[in-house]
Amino acid sequence: MASRRLLLHAAAAGALSLALPGCTRVDLSAEPNGGSLLDRLRRKGEVRIGFANEAPYSFINSEAELTGEAAEVAKVVFSRLGVPNLVPIPSEFGSLIAGLKVGLFDVIGAGMSILPKRCEQVLFTNPDFVAPAAFLVPKGNPKGIRTFAEVAQQNLRLGVLIGATEKDYAIANGVPENRITAYQNQPSGLEAVNTGREDAFSLTSISLRDILAKNPGAPLEVTTPFVPEVDGRPQFTSGGFAFLPDQANIVAAFNEELAKLKKSGELLRILRPFGFTEAEMTDLTARELCAAPEA
Ligand SMILES: CC1=N[C@H](C(=O)O)[C@@H](O)CN1
């Protein structure tokens, strides 16, 4: 009985091959619960997608439906892979990787940037966009902020999103950690600039334009988009989808469908309603982005 329990535990862990006295050898080298992730998703007909409610990447709209750049790409790609339904699982941006690791969802679909340090923890698909950075600042940009280095030079206060890459860009450009505050979401960052608690709030320009459009009365503006540099190297903020590190099969299948969308121009048609243009399209690969030197 004890050995039977051990076998079942091992099967759940999905990482072993063992034969105990009185037991048949069980091949546990396959992924847990039988078959690859893609096989399991096809059988269930659904995929659980972790998202951070950051519009226009992945968010719940006024009809209470998941939509946005990542959500719409995921709907098309997964349905072509034989998985028709998306189950949205909300998370803070900074908890997405942890949520994937503990099995709260099957994939991160939040427009997450492919960064070398994240590549050590998850397996990214190729990116479906690049997105320059910007700052949300008071109208007229009284401090004249255009880059992270200028935030540092003037010793300004900067808001960022919890877990987002802009904090790393800021620190690498000399902004002291004690001048940076991380906010839970776009609205709280906007509010912080609006009330004068922060001189600027940084995210991708696409994200900041979206939140400003939803607050038309706010006396704020989005600065000119720019590609941040770290040690003279451009940081493209190029986003894709993330799976667990042992799920290379589904990543390859996803990349194949994504490549077709890029080639046919369908990707841009899917992304245009969310503020993406030709300028945000990219042929960069996850391999290139994962290998890039650290921010
Ligand atoms: C979609 C997104 N990308 C960046 C990141 O991955 O850190 C940040 O700008 C936060 N949001």
118-138 confidence digits (pLDDT tens): 999 999 999 999 999 999 999
Q: Are strands 133-138 and 220-222 parallel, antiparallel or unpaired?
A: antiparallel
pLDDT at 1: 33
| Cα separations in angstroms, 199 against 51, 137, 154, 191 | 28, 6, 10, 11
Q: In this model, does residue 89 exceed pLDDT 70?
A: yes
Nearest CA to ligand 1 atom 10: 164
d(CA 167, CA 149): 13
Q: What pLDDT, in 10s, does the model give residues 47-85? A: 999 999 999 999 999 999 999 999 999 999 999 999 999
For the record, the structure tokens of 247 come out as: 């799920």
Helix (H, G, I), strand (E, B) or coil at 87: strand
242 C-alpha to ligand 1 centroid (Å): 13
Atom of ligand 1 nearest to the CA of 112: 6
- The mean per-residue pLDDT over the stretch 89-99 comes to 98
Nearest CA to ligand 1 atom 1: 111
50 C-alpha to ligand 1 centroid (Å): 14
Query: What is the predicted ipTM?
Result: 0.99
- The mean per-residue pLDDT over the stretch 98-106 comes to 98
CB neighbour list of residue 17: distance below 8 Å, 6 or more residues apart: 25, 26, 27, 28, 29
Q: What mean pLDDT is reported for the chain?
A: 90
Atom of ligand 1 nearest to the CA of 57: 1
Q: Look-up: residue for tokens 């451009």?
A: 234
Of all residues in the chain, the percent with pLDDT exceeding 70 is 87
- H and E: helices and strands count for the chain: 12, 18
Q: What pLDDT, in 10s, does the model give residues 4-37? A: 333 333 333 333 333 333 333 333 334 555 579 9
Testing ligand 1's pocket by substitution, the residue of 93, 136, 202, 227 carrying the most ligand atoms inside 8 A of its CB is: 93
Of 6, 27, 5, 32, whose CA–CA distance to 16 is shortest? 27
265 C-alpha to ligand 1 centroid (Å): 24
111 C-alpha to ligand 1 centroid (Å): 7
9 C-alpha to ligand 1 centroid (Å): 37
Q: Which residue has the higher pLDDT, 247 or 18?
A: 247
Q: Is the CB of 228 under 6 A from ligand 1?
A: no
144 C-alpha to ligand 1 centroid (Å): 24
What is the SS3 assignment for 101-144?
HCCCCCEECCCCECCHHHHCCCEECCCCEECCEEEEEECCCCCC
Q: In this model, does residue 2 exceed pLDDT 50?
A: no
pLDDT at 231: 86
As a 3-state breakdown, the chain gives helix, strand, coil percent values, each rounded to 5, of 40, 20, 40
pTM: predicted TM-score of the whole model, two decimal places: 0.88
Of all residues in the chain, the percent with pLDDT exceeding 90 is 85
- The mean per-residue pLDDT over the stretch 166-171 comes to 98
pLDDT at 237: 94
d(CA 156, CA 173): 13
